[in-house]
Amino acid sequence: MQPAVDSTAGSAAEELKDCRNYRLFFTDKQTGLRFLVDSGAELSIIPATANHKICNSFKLYAANGTVIPTFGFKILTLDLGLRRSFQFPFVIAKVDRAILDADFLTKFQLIIDMHNA
């Protein structure tokens, strides 16, 4: 007698593994800066450059509680290839990736559609 194998559990695990790779990014056509769309983020953020040397008093915390240094704010006008430009304030921070937050999506009435992304 062979042990029963739940094939649905195996395929569900594979599907879950594949789903983790689905993240939505936009690239600003002007600067080439690539933004992760994060509907759970509370701030839109751009990475600091070598020119940003003086930390701001504004405190930013990662999900694990560590402090992320910030260097002020900057208003950007983005061309995301969506038939209009988007002017929005961003926090400049010591991060690896630029992020578009929920407020950005709300202000410009953008809806995330991962099925057609």
Tell me how many domains the chain contains: 1
Q: Report pLDDT for 12.
A: 59
- Neighbouring-strand partners of residue 45: 91, 99
Q: Report pLDDT for 51.
A: 85
Q: Is the pTM of this model over 0.75?
A: yes
CATH classification of the domain holding 36:
2.40.70.10
Q: Residue 66 belongs to what domain range?
A: 25-108
Task: Provide the residue-wise pLDDT of the chain in tens; the chain has 117 residues.
Answer: 444 544 445 565 565 555 556 789 999 999 999 999 999 899 999 999 988 878 888 889 988 999 999 999 999 999 999 999 999 999 999 999 999 999 999 999 999 887 776
Q: Is residue 5 assigned to a domain?
A: no
Q: Report pLDDT for 99.
A: 97
Q: Which amino acid is at 70?
A: T
